[in-house]
Amino acid sequence: MTTPVRYDNIHLYGKVGQLATSQMRAWLDTRAIQFTDLQYEDPTESLAALSTWFRDEDEEPVIFSETPLIIYDIVIWEADDGSDSYRKQNYAVQASDLPSDFIELAIKVS
């Protein structure tokens, strides 16, 4: 696989008051990773919609039933002037699912 340029458009989908969501938010915060925090009282509808975005190796939908969930873009190539890029969207259900270079290449809070 080609080494990504960076990871961006990072979104944390979570449930209000859920410990796992709070822990994932803290994990991202302590690493100064810029992300959009999307928390829902009931994330059922959001998870159902997100379950239409990804396919597994058998081309079956990946069904998300629990939060937290991180969805992010892998920027594989980008024009020098930023006018164009090749991206692939990916997800992680826990920090250990993220690529090994995620912390290094994720967009940081400035």
Tens digits of per-residue pLDDT, 32-70?
999 999 999 999 999 999 999 999 999 999 999 999 999
Percent of the chain with pLDDT over 90: 86
Is residue 23 one of the residues assigned to a domain?
yes
Measured in Å, how far apart are the chain's first and last C-alpha atoms? 29
Report yes or no on 20 lying in a domain. yes
What pLDDT score does 2 carry?
Answer: 67
Residues 96, 88: Cα–Cα separation, whole Å: 19
Count of domains for the chain: 1
Q: Which helix (H) or strand (E) holds 29?
A: helix 19-30
Rounded to two decimals, the pTM is: 0.91
Q: Is 110 part of any domain?
A: no
**Cα 78 to Cα 3: distance, rounded to the nearest angstrom:** 12
Mean pLDDT of the chain: 94
1 vs 79: which has the higher pLDDT:
79
Domain annotation covers residue 40: yes
In a domain, 1, yes or no: no
Distance from C-alpha of 59 to C-alpha of 61, rounded to nearest angstrom: 7
